[in-house]
Amino acid sequence: MFEVGENADGILAGVLFLIWLSAAILATRLAWRPTPEALRKSARRLLRLLVAALVVLVVKCVAIGLMLAVDWIFADNRVIVQMPLLLLPMLAVVIWTVPGLRALANRDDAPVDVETRSAAADPRFVVPVQVTAVATVIGVYFAYVSRPVPSYLDDIATHAAPILLSVLVLWFWQGRRLRVVTATDFARRGRRASALRATAQAAVVVLVVAAGITYVAQSSRLPDRMSMTSHDNVDYGGGPSIGHGGHGGTSVDELRGPQTGKPNKAFTLTAKNATVRLSSGTEIKALTYNGQSPGPELRVREGDLVEVTLHNEIPDENVTIHWHGLDVPNGEDGVAGATQNAVEPGGSFTYRFIAEQVGTFWYHTHQNPLEAIRRGLFGALIVEPRDGPPPGERDFVVQAHEWRTPDDNIVSFGTSDTLQRQEVAPGTPVRLRLINTDNNPSTDSRPRALTVNGTPVRVAAIDGVDVNGPTPLTDPRFGLATGGRYDVTFTMPAGPVRLTDLANRDGGLVLAPPGDTSTPKIVDDGDHFDPLSYGSGGSRPFDAGSSYDRSFTQLLDDRLSFYNGGLHLVPIINGHSFPDTPTLMVRMDDVVKVRIVNRSHQNHPMHLHGHHALVLSRNGVRATGSPWWIDSLDVIPGEIYEIGFKADNPGLWMDHCHNLDHAANGMVMHLAYEGVTSPYELGRGTPNQPE
């Protein structure tokens, strides 16, 4: 409902503009109509336009009502900022223009005399229409470009200023036109001169606008160096003000895993260029760990001390490794420019951490990730329980990815972009570890949709946390957030089971008993899996009604604007792009609530590093069922999530949208602990480009 309202509202802003532009042109020319008949006709046309504008306005109110029905926050800026600025000039039209206009529309055939012309050119009669046209331009600007966020006071000022200015300018201009149209030599004034002048004026306007755009584009360029701890925009979430700590604070370099002790598992990952061959035969010029993509599967046990040595042999790309979903110590988090310098060609970095969580995770570079993850710098990280996996269980790691070739986007599971078959004996316990290593499918703005057909399945874990009391789901449809994981389990039935990414219906994975060559049909209209009420039991350390040390709101919007020199639909958080987005400041042991509101046109899989958060509610509906712990949460337009987490992992943590094009366009913020500092910087002048 929000999206219908939002889209309608945007389109109607444009329609209103077109109507009022025509109305303003008609009104401005009215006094120049040569004959009584022409004048009458124009006046009637104008009246009809005003009626049309009124109808559109009513529809627009309905659209806004649709958004308000979801929640006040989805359209409060329209109620507070946009509508008053439209309605006030329209009211002036009703009061000052309409009566005179009706008189002109009903005028008889008497010749158009000076008195009539002066009535039709009177600023009080014409300017309200012109100003309303200006207000509708501001309305379009509001709908697509400015997207105000609370508290709205400065937005009222910036949106009202051009309208007030236009009143002055138009009043003055219309006064001059009034003198012209009532002058005695009016009929003899030449048209050529005014045409020339109009052209000159238009040229000046175009030049000024072009210069303005160039200036804005240039000034949106990010600085060459910036530090993640030097933001002006700090949010304390209603808790006490605290600082990064400056001198005497703890550096992220001190927040490392165990530096001594023999690792239980040691891996070496070497970043290198390689050609990856998909099952269809397509070759991808990939960036890889160890020459393969997905990179080697890292499988460890709960409690293991894990050591991963990263070497970089890619000549022209810096790399890191981030352990997505594993809440490692901050210094091991692998974020270029925040927790380390990116590893330059020829360099190395060693990560050491204890695998404390059991479940499905993945790793990827956090340097230039939009390009580099897409091109292959990722792999699966599996932490098995201390005592090993359930006996006899077969587990299949499925990394839903999308490869880009110059002329195609190829949706695959790992390197399999064609249908794969595996033999599994009936009765075998099966676990599918689904990982979304890519954005939304390029064909859709919704999260990647996967189906499992052939047998009822359970969701045993979400984002590396076990679900309590999972119930069987028949032909479920999973919307898997970017970066998110679902562990899906079932006992192998007597017939085949099929896993499909709906963005590639010719691909997928079929598990079949030996000798069975059949393939189940794809069922794509099954129930959408909703973790909000799935499962039962388990305890919640806090819920929607608990009291929190800090409460933050993340208001996700988007607007057409420049970011780093380019024009994009820029996603914004609380009105800003990185580095102006708020930094959430917390203190160790704070219990924190975050309210995420998506008012934008796209879905945003928000990913907080270093913590798992508990979903408390969605659009006011409390989470029931098994506690739903997340590290990657897809928030679609019109949704409000409340999540809670305990601040128990000190550091400087990324909190960003995992649709990596959004992150690259500034949809990035940080969670910072009191007293934690970072010596690293990011930007063109450094080796680090974390997004």
Give the residues lining the site for ligand C2O (CB under 6 A). Answer: 322, 324, 364, 366, 483, 607, 609, 654, 656, 658
Q: Closest separation between CB of residue 86 and ligand C2O, Å? A: 41
Q: Closest separation between CB of residue 417 and ligand C2O, Å? A: 23
Q: Closest separation between CB of residue 611 and ligand C2O, Å? A: 12
Closer of 475 and 691 to ligand C2O (Cβ): 691
Stretch that binds Cu ion, among 510-518, 559-567, 591-599, 654-662 (CB under 5 A): 654-662
Closer of 499 and 663 to ligand C2O (Cβ): 663
656's contact among Cu ion, ligand C2O, none, with CB below 5 to 8 A by partner kind, is: ligand C2O
Closer of 453 and 659 to Cu ion (Cβ): 659
Q: Closest separation between CB of residue 365 and ligand C2O, Å? A: 10
Q: Closest separation between CB of residue 335 and ligand C2O, Å? A: 7
Contact yes or no for 337/345 (Cβ under 8 A)? no
Pairing of strands 283-289, 265-277: antiparallel
654's contact among ligand C2O, Cu ion, none, with CB below 5 to 8 A by partner kind, is: ligand C2O
Residues 602 to 621: which contact Cu ion by CB under 5 A?
Answer: 604
What ranges make up the beta strands (E) of 331-428?
348-354, 359-364, 378-384, 394-405, 408-413, 420-423
604's contact among ligand C2O, Cu ion, none, with CB below 5 to 8 A by partner kind, is: Cu ion
Q: In terms of C-beta density within 10 A (0-12 exposed, 13-18 middle, 19 or more buried), how is residue 13 classed?
A: buried
The Cα–Cα gap between 541 and 84 comes to 45
The Cα–Cα gap between 396 and 343 comes to 31
Contact yes or no for 560/13 (Cβ under 8 A)? no
H helical segments located in 226-351: none
364's contact among ligand C2O, Cu ion, none, with CB below 5 to 8 A by partner kind, is: ligand C2O
The Cα–Cα gap between 152 and 136 comes to 19
Stretch that binds Cu ion, among 350-358, 500-508, 600-608, 610-618 (CB under 5 A): 600-608
Closer of 638 and 687 to ligand C2O (Cβ): 687
607's contact among ligand C2O, Cu ion, none, with CB below 5 to 8 A by partner kind, is: ligand C2O
H or E stretch covering 461 = strand 458-462
Residues 658 to 687: which contact Cu ion by CB under 5 A?
Answer: 659, 662
Closer of 155 and 463 to ligand C2O (Cβ): 463
Q: Closest separation between CB of residue 429 and ligand C2O, Å? A: 29
Closer of 20 and 378 to ligand C2O (Cβ): 378
Q: Closest separation between CB of residue 457 and ligand C2O, Å? A: 25
Residue 657 in contact with Cu ion, rule: CB under 5 A: yes
609's contact among Cu ion, ligand C2O, none, with CB below 5 to 8 A by partner kind, is: ligand C2O
The Cα–Cα gap between 40 and 35 comes to 9
Closer of 170 and 613 to ligand C2O (Cβ): 613
Q: Closest separation between CB of residue 672 and ligand C2O, Å? A: 15
Closer of 550 and 656 to ligand C2O (Cβ): 656
Residue 525 CB contacts under 8 Å (≥ 6 apart), including other chains: 477
Specify the long-range contacts of residues 98-104, CB closer than 8 Å, at least 24 apart: 98/47, 98/50, 100/125, 101/43, 101/46, 101/47, 101/50, 101/125, 102/47, 104/30, 104/39, 104/40, 104/43
Q: Closest separation between CB of residue 656 and ligand C2O, Å? A: 6
Q: Closest separation between CB of residue 271 and ligand C2O, Å? A: 17
Q: Closest separation between CB of residue 485 and ligand C2O, Å? A: 11
The torsion region of residue 248 among left (phi > 0), alpha (psi -120 to 50) and beta comes to left
Residue 482 in contact with Cu ion, rule: CB under 5 A: no
Pairing of strands 295-301, 378-384: parallel
With CB under 5 A as the rule, give the number of residues binding Cu ion.
4
Q: Closest separation between CB of residue 80 and ligand C2O, Å? A: 34
Q: Closest separation between CB of residue 667 and Cu ion, Å? A: 5
Closer of 40 and 609 to Cu ion (Cβ): 609
Closer of 402 and 417 to Cu ion (Cβ): 402
Instruction: Name the residue among 683, 684, 681 with its Cα closest to residue 230.
Output: 681
Contact yes or no for 474/399 (Cβ under 8 A)? no
Which residue is listed with tokens 């401005």? 28
Closer of 351 and 548 to ligand C2O (Cβ): 351
Closer of 326 and 511 to ligand C2O (Cβ): 326
Q: Closest separation between CB of residue 10 and ligand C2O, Å? A: 31
Instruction: Give the three-state DSSP class for 474.
Output: coil
132's contact among ligand C2O, Cu ion, none, with CB below 5 to 8 A by partner kind, is: none
The Cα–Cα gap between 466 and 617 comes to 19
485's contact among ligand C2O, Cu ion, none, with CB below 5 to 8 A by partner kind, is: none
The Cα–Cα gap between 44 and 284 comes to 65
The Cα–Cα gap between 666 and 652 comes to 17
Q: Closest separation between CB of residue 690 and ligand C2O, Å? A: 8
Helix axes 123-141, 83-92, angle to 10 degrees: 160
Residue 488 in contact with Cu ion, rule: CB under 5 A: no
658's contact among Cu ion, ligand C2O, none, with CB below 5 to 8 A by partner kind, is: ligand C2O
436's contact among ligand C2O, Cu ion, none, with CB below 5 to 8 A by partner kind, is: none
Closer of 463 and 639 to ligand C2O (Cβ): 463
Pairing of strands 668-673, 583-586: parallel
Closer of 559 and 662 to Cu ion (Cβ): 662
662's contact among Cu ion, ligand C2O, none, with CB below 5 to 8 A by partner kind, is: Cu ion
Rg (C-alpha) for the chain, rounded Å, is 31
644's contact among ligand C2O, Cu ion, none, with CB below 5 to 8 A by partner kind, is: none
Q: What angle do CA 220, 632, 557 make, to 5 degrees?
A: 35
What is the secondary structure of 479-526 as a DSSP string?
EE-TT-EEEEEEE--SS-EEEEETTEEEEEEEEE-TT----PPP--SS
Number of other CB atoms surrounding residue 554 within 10 Å: 22
Instruction: Give the three-state DSSP class for 624.
Output: coil
Residue 130 CB contacts under 8 Å (≥ 6 apart), including other chains: 24, 27, 28, 166, 170, 174
Closer of 96 and 645 to ligand C2O (Cβ): 645
Count helices and strands in the chain by DSSP H and E runs: 11, 36
Instruction: Name the residue among 7, 155, 138, 4 with its Cα closest to residue 80.
Output: 155
Residue 192 CB contacts under 8 Å (≥ 6 apart), including other chains: none
Stretch that binds Cu ion, among 47-55, 509-517, 583-591, 599-607 (CB under 5 A): 599-607
Question: Using CB under 5 A as the criterion, which residues of the chain lie in contact with Cu ion when the complex forms?
Answer: 604, 657, 659, 662
